[in-house]
Amino acid sequence: MPFSPQAPIPRKEKISVSYLVGKLRERVNINITSCASEHCSDERFVNEADLHRPGLALAGYIKLFTYQRVQIIGNTETQFLQNLPKDKQKEAFRRITKFDIPVIFLTDSNELPDYLLQITEEAGIPVFSTPLETTRFMYLLRDFLEDQFAIQTMVHGSMVDVYGIGILVAGKSGIGKSEVALDLVERGHRLVADDVVMLTKKSSVLMASATEMSKHFMEIRGLGIVDVMSMFGIRAIRYQKRLEVVLELTLWDETREIERTGLNHDSVNVLGLDIPLIHLPITPGKNITVIAEVIAMNYLLKHYGYDPAKAFQDRIQSSISDKTQGEKGIPKRAIEYFEGDIE
């Protein structure tokens, strides 16, 4: 069975505002204080990663008002409100609070007068304030929300960080993926996950990690379950790693075509991203571990701008053009001149 990524796991549909604020304080280290309706945070839910600044809605244009998003009130909105007479301020605020807004954040230490907070209190919309500047806060909040609503999938294979390149060893059950991973760990590389690999899509990157349950355990056929971190220590494991190459192990099959030059690149589509795919038939005497290291080094070389397959092809092409256009009378030998037994 060729390596086929699986359907995405149904993503989180919503997170409560209290969970969001709790995690922002605890994991993202943002200082957030509650201004109004904190008791409603458990019943208010955020269901998308996008944010909205309700400037136009406050000014009166409520068509296309994306009220279901987290609302950010920064300097512009606050100053706009301050420039209005008190009754107009209330009117503007009532206009937006009649929508089902999940939560309002006041950024850059901005404050709302009590009579406006009163309106949100009546509507049951939680309001929080933070000293962070608006753009910085929006960046952190969006990053957090994107992670929360990221699509994920689970694949079968072993994920190892080889020289800083994330390689997923895939293939049929019992073909020896875990053994390759163990051998790589033994050679100083770092295991991310064995058997069950969670892939999370973050913008244009796929992050691989283990599940909480199977974290850094491994099954070796005939031996059972072993704990890689206890045996090899902290240097042998890694919490998460970007997926960069899929290495698919297959049994040797003479009828199957194998890549010989490295000029053609295969890839596999995982959650909408194309990941380089290498098919590796297993034959007696083949050291998969060393090949995995070579794959990682080759990937690095290409990343730094040197493609060996292309370099070799260029050499052949220049040699051919020399023969057809170059000087005549040069003997055709694979090596032009032996210097003698010097080097």
Partner 1 sequence: MIKKKVTILNSAGLHARPSAALVKLASKFESDFYIHMYGYRVNGKSILGVMTLAAEEGAELELEMDGPDEKKALKTIVELIENKFGMDDE
Closest CA to 249 of 162, 154, 179: 179
φ/ψ of residue 287, rounded to 5:
-95, 100
Q: For residues 129 and 200, which CB has a smaller minimum distance to partner 1 in the complex? A: 200
Site for partner 1 in 203-242 (CB under 8 A): 211, 213-214, 217-219, 225
| Residue 248 sits in the site that holds partner 1 (CB under 8 A) | no
Catalytic residue (choose from 156, 172, 215, 302): 156
Identity at 337, one-letter amino acid code = Y
Site string for partner 1, 132-171 (x = CB under 8 A): ----------------------x-x---------------
Catalytic, 177? Answer: yes
Question: Of 78 and 240, which CB lies nearer to partner 1 in the complex structure?
Answer: 240
Which candidate in 177, 201, 216, 238 is catalytic?
177
Segment interacting with partner 1, rule: CB under 8 A, options 26-34, 68-76, 189-197, 311-319: 189-197
Strand stretches in the chain, DSSP E: 15-16, 33-36, 45-46, 51-52, 70-73, 104-106, 127-129, 152-162, 165-171, 190-202, 205-209, 217-220, 224-227, 240-242, 245-251, 266-270, 273-282
- Distance of closest approach, residue 254 Cβ to partner 1, in angstroms: 20
Q: Is 215 a catalytic residue?
A: no
Residue 156 annotated in active site? yes
CB 308 within 8 A of CB 298: yes
Residue 141 has a CB neighbour count (10 Å cut-off) of 23
Nearer to partner 1, 213 or 234 (CB): 213
Length of the chain: 343
Q: Is 221 one of the catalytic residues?
A: no
Please report, for residues 52, 127, 260, the alpha-carbon distance to residue 49 in angstroms, rounded to integers and kept in the order given. 10, 18, 45
Distance CA 156, CA 196 (A): 5
Q: How far is the CB of 173 from partner 1 (least distance, A)?
A: 4
Q: Does 335 bind partner 1 (CB under 8 A)?
A: no
Summarize as ranges the residues that interact with partner 1 (CB under 8 A): 1, 6-7, 9-10, 154, 156, 173-174, 194-196, 211, 213-214, 217-219, 225
Residues marked as catalytic:
156, 177, 195, 260
